[in-house]
């Protein structure tokens, strides 16, 4: 059964990203009833601090450039365009 946890605070600099990353790391390290837990972190912050920490700055920059962000997906949906999250990346030489 899925459990949901949200970390939210309007004020900046209160440790939301730090708490989120440490909580995600802890929860992903535990086993419940013989199954390793899975954690999904969704970063709504425009600074992408969680995404940068998890994926790395280079990958996040690439995803932003390709429009494969939450805001990019929502814009495509608003404009009634099909959004392909799994489109293959071009290989670079």
pLDDT tens per residue, range 18-46: 999 999 999 999 988 898 889 999 888 87
Local structure of residue 73 (DSSP, 8 states): H
Q: Is residue 84 part of a domain?
A: no
Residue 7: which of 50, 37, 47 has the closest Cα?
50
Q: Is residue 87 part of a domain?
A: no
**How many domains does the structure of the chain reveal?**
1
Q: Is residue 45 part of a domain?
A: yes
**pLDDT computed for residue 27 by the predictor:** 92
pTM of the full structure: 0.67
- Give one word for 33, left, alpha or beta, with left for phi > 0 and alpha for psi -120 to 50: left
Q: Is residue 42 part of a domain?
A: yes
- Domain extent, residue 45, equals 16-78
Which of the pair, 84 or 57, is modelled with greater confidence? Answer: 57
């Amino acid at each position: 059964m899925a459990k949901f946890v949200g970390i939210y605070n309007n004020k900046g600099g209160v440790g939301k990203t730090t708490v989120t990353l440490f909580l995600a790391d802890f929860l992903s390290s535990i086993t419940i009833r013989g199954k390793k837990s899975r954690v999904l972190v969704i970063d709504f912050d425009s600074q992408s601090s969680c995404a940068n920490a998890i994926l790395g700055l280079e990958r996040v920059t690439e995803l932003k450039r390709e429009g494969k962000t939450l805001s990019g997906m929502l814009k495509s949906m608003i404009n009634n365009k099909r959004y392909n999250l799994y489109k293959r990346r071009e290989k670079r030489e």
